[in-house]
Amino acid sequence: MGQKSTYIEVGPEVGDAIADGAAVVALESTIISHGMPYPKNIETAREVEAVVRAAGAVPATIAVMDGRFRIGLSAEELEVLAKSADVLKASRRDLGVAFARKLTAATTVATTMIGAAWAGIRVFATGGTGGVHRGVEQTMDVSADLQELARTGVAVVSAGVKSILDIPRTLEYLETMGVPVLGFETREFPAFFSRESGSQVAHRVESAADAAGIMAAHWNSGLGSGLLLANPIPAESAMDPDYIEGVIARAVADAEAAGVVGKDITPYLLARIVELTDGKSLEANIALVKNNARVAAEVASALAETPRLRSPANRVRSPE
């Protein structure tokens, strides 16, 4: 299987589903360890997996456990991530350290994409991806998620990018890197907590089957990048854009005053926004994650029915 096989372990249910060509949806683990407080984090993780199952796919929550990618976490492993206070938040740059030191680490969007691709999983559901941060001209803070979308052939279903980011610049970056951004039943790029951002996507898709067809054509033609399927938060759970923008501006100012920078800024801002909205943003976050999981499962099911879909180029293959 090559050297990569040293650093990956696929759970039995997920492995069987991949071997059978069934629908599988990758799920990240940072939302468990760094995105929500206990026990809301473990409750949400279980509910999201249940949504994937109800929509006809197998969930594969991904993390690094004892120095190896674990593709499809057990109930016990979910509890470890949910309760531990010192779990590493691992992006691509951190993987070698986590592997060598046999650490347990939660995966970001970027590293979940890597683990999914190694296992042969094509569809991944998250809340929102990273992007270009506000004030990038001073900080040069651009999420590794964007570069991963450009290099790793996994489709990411998200509620756009977090509205704490610079959305127009994020979309410009993705265009420059050749990453298709598809709006699921919309031309308006969603802004995580709200359905509107003022920015448009180049292409609207009308259904899961429509999205799956585009993904298959993209990969079968040899275009190796990922795709971003932007799926707006359900209307009943969306927050008023002007209200949440004001909250975000205050949270950003608080982060600057506290000297929070780098990979700590997103968890800080999201936690501060929960405080400032009296928990309403957390409920919106949970609603959009579940909605993304449902759509991802529908897309994965449609993709599983697509003939001759090429496997990811960097998949860890079993010996013949």
pLDDT bin (cut points 50, 70, 90) of residue 317 is low
Contact, 76 vs 42, CB < 8 A? no
Tell me, what's the pLDDT at 318? 52
Contact, 165 vs 132, CB < 8 A? yes
Give the residue numbers marked as catalytic: 28, 162
pTM of the model: 0.93
pLDDT bin (cut points 50, 70, 90) of residue 205 is very high
Tell me, what's the pLDDT at 320? 38
Q: For the chain, what is the mean pLDDT? A: 93
The residue written with tokens 């206990």 in the block is 38
| 130 vs 4, higher pLDDT | 130
Question: Whole-angstrom Cα distance, residue 232 to residue 248?
Answer: 19
Contact, 161 vs 180, CB < 8 A? no
pLDDT for 200 beyond 60: yes
Tell me, what's the pLDDT at 124? 98
Phi, psi of 9 (to 5 degrees): -135, 120
306: which DSSP letter?
S
Hey, what are 240's tokens? 């008023």
CATH of 3-304, one of 3.40.1790.10, 3.40.630.190, 3.40.50.2300, 3.30.460.80: 3.40.1790.10
| 184 vs 269, higher pLDDT | 184
Question: Whole-angstrom Cα distance, residue 45 to residue 55?
Answer: 16
Tell me, what's the pLDDT at 316? 80
pLDDT bin (cut points 50, 70, 90) of residue 156 is very high
**Taking the domains of the chain in order of start, what are their residue ranges?**
3-304
* Span 95-136, pLDDT tens digits: 999 999 999 999 999 999 999 999 999 999 999 999 998 888
Determine the average pLDDT of the residues in 240-257.
92
pLDDT bin (cut points 50, 70, 90) of residue 1 is very low
pLDDT bin (cut points 50, 70, 90) of residue 168 is very high
* Span 18-74, pLDDT tens digits: 999 999 999 999 999 987 888 999 999 999 999 999 999 999 999 999 999 999 999
Contact, 98 vs 80, CB < 8 A? no
Tell me, what's the pLDDT at 186? 98
Does 12 sit behind a cis peptide bond, omega within 30 degrees of 0 on the bond before it?
no
Question: Whole-angstrom Cα distance, residue 63 to residue 50?
Answer: 18
pLDDT for 177 beyond 80: yes
Interacting residues of 222 by C-beta distance below 8 A, sequence separation 6+: none
Determine the average pLDDT of the residues in 135-140.
87
pLDDT for 302 beyond 60: yes
* Span 280-298, pLDDT tens digits: 999 999 999 999 999 999 9
Tell me, what's the pLDDT at 261? 82
pLDDT for 170 beyond 70: yes
Tell me, what's the pLDDT at 77? 95
Phi, psi of 111 (to 5 degrees): -75, -25
